[in-house]
Amino acid sequence: MVKEIQLRISLKDEERSDILIIKSAHALDIDKKDVTGIKVLRKSIDARKPKIIFNYKVAVYIREALPKTSEYTFDYKDVSKAKPIHIIGFGPAGMYAALRCIELGYKPIVLERGKNVQDRRRDLKAINQEHFVNEDSNYCFGEGGAGTYSDGKLYTRSLKRGDVRRIFENLVFHGATDQILVDAHPHIGTNKLPKVVQNIRETILNYGGEVHFETRVTDFIIKTNKIQALQLQNGEEIAVNRVILATGHSARDIFYLLHKKNIALEAKSFAMGVRVEHPQHIIDSIQYHCDGKRNELLPAASYSLVSQVNNRGVYSFCMCPGGFIVPAATANGEVVVNGMSPSKRNNLYANSGIVVEINAEADLHKYEKFGVLKGLEYQKNLEKLAFTAGGRSQVAPAQRLTDFVEGKLSDDLNPTSYQPGLKSAPLHSLLPKLIGSRLRKGFQSFGQKMKGYYTAEANIVGVESRTSSPVCIPRNEQLKHPEVSNLFPCGEGGGYAGGIVSAAMDGERCAEAAIVGL
């Protein structure tokens, strides 16, 4: 017999290795000897009050053995001689599109502009130490996309778009810890994701798919509203039948290419702002009601904040407890920051994007001359401003949080996890009023909601500008572009996802759509 129940465990009781068996037996009014196994289905922490509680959902096996295998199976087939589906981009959307193609009996041929995960490391080192950005291999481009080296958070609200559990199970199948199946806010970690990504690639290759790195698509050869061939940077042309476009939200060259060819695009609302970085012990003390040294059973504390300022949302984005701020520019001449955490989340700092909602229709009047690309141009200008303010390198402009709100230049800055370094800059006056004035009020609001958050011990770092795509590539109910019958815009780059899991689910959906009638 198997019973599913909810349990509430105190922090003190959590220290006992047998507490789940004891509590389950008591809740079900049975002898604990009859409990033959406990499977944790969900785990979360309630730290709203000083007495911290661990919430568990568990399956209690009563006089019955725990199953040893997952209920999920992945029926990968030999597709070496099957009909091809071309996939541009090998981030989460492209990877899961490729895996789904193999399950469905079609051969994925992936074209990725960047390098594999191992070779990517050298280019990331060059950004951090030499301040040189390889425009095809960086924190956004390369095997696994932006997710590989920027945290690996798996939390999603896109529960109606596909089977979230299936996405997680496939990550576990490829080497991720099964803890992601349990945690309320699952996270793999930047140090663990590269191996998972490599395993996914090996599955694709082992079953007859193809993955071509350093293969940048530069043009679409279109005839009678259909892509006949893809042109590569080396001049080669590849004939295609179906194309899944999964290039990510930072592949600006794709947006420009489509616009140049008069293929319909749409301006899309997005968000931009800064990264704020606190010492982790401050966030721990606020969230866990402690003196800053949290109990070892508790993970590095996180937060989620939102406020409405002058009819626009100001909110935290991609919060990284125990993490690092990283340089996420995709070209020289711009500064972009993002955050990531290792699997243990054991760094000394907590960072989060704090961003302001940008309404594409109401907020960008000065950029109307750029038409559907107005948000992209606004985004670029802010990144160029950050580059100049930081000293024309990957050094980022920064300010103490309190100085930013009070409108004064910081005499000095707090220590930081951002490797290229920080330069004091008057971000309060440099940021457009649309963003800067709302951030200042937003930070004051957050300080009231989280006592201790508003502090001179925190830095703000500019700019957090790549939260999502400022451009949408439209598609119809069959997930095809309305003007190009064999083009399937996919994932974050198309405007249809907002993170690893939602991008992966959209990749699967596009694969299922692309094979129809093939």
CB atoms within 10 A of CB 59: 16
Handedness of CA 433, 435, 437, 440 (dihedral sign): negative
Long-range contacts of 428-434 (CB under 8 A, 24+ apart): 428/399, 428/403, 428/404, 430/385, 430/389, 430/397, 430/462, 431/274, 431/382, 431/462, 431/463, 432/382, 434/356, 434/358, 434/363
CA-CA-CA-CA dihedral for 372, 377, 380, 381, to nearest 10:
-150
Give the pLDDT confidence score for residue 157 in this predicted structure. 62
Helix (H) or strand (E) holding 20: helix 19-28
For 349-377, give one letter per residue: b (16+ CB within 10 A) or e: bbbbbbbbbbebeebbeebeebebbbbbb
* Cα 347 versus chain centre, distance: 19
Q: How far apart are CA 163 and CA 174, in angstroms?
A: 17
With a cut of 50, which residues of the chain have pLDDT below it?
Answer: none
Secondary structure of 166-189 in HEC code, one letter for each residue: HHHHHHHHCCCCHHHHCECCCECC
pLDDT tens digits for range 350-390? 999 999 999 999 999 999 999 999 999 999 999 999 999 99
From start to end of 257-410, where are the E strands?
266-267, 270-279, 306-309, 312-320, 324-327, 337-340, 349-358, 396-400
Q: How far apart are CA 84 and CA 90, in angstroms?
A: 16
Q: How far apart are CA 440 and CA 367, in angstroms?
A: 24
Q: Which stretches of 391-458 are DSSP H helices?
A: 401-406, 427-430, 433-449
Q: How far apart are CA 429 and CA 436, in angstroms?
A: 8
Give the pLDDT confidence score for residue 184 in this predicted structure. 85
Give the pLDDT confidence score for residue 123 in this predicted structure. 97
Binning the chain into helix, strand and coil, the percentages to the nearest 5 are 30, 25, 45
Instruction: Provide the token pair at 301.
Output: 């504390």
For 166-197, give one letter per residue: b (16+ CB within 10 A) or e: ebbbbbbbbebbeebbbbeebbbbbebbbebb
Q: How far apart are CA 375 and CA 249, in angstroms?
A: 12
Q: How far apart are CA 34 and CA 31, in angstroms?
A: 6
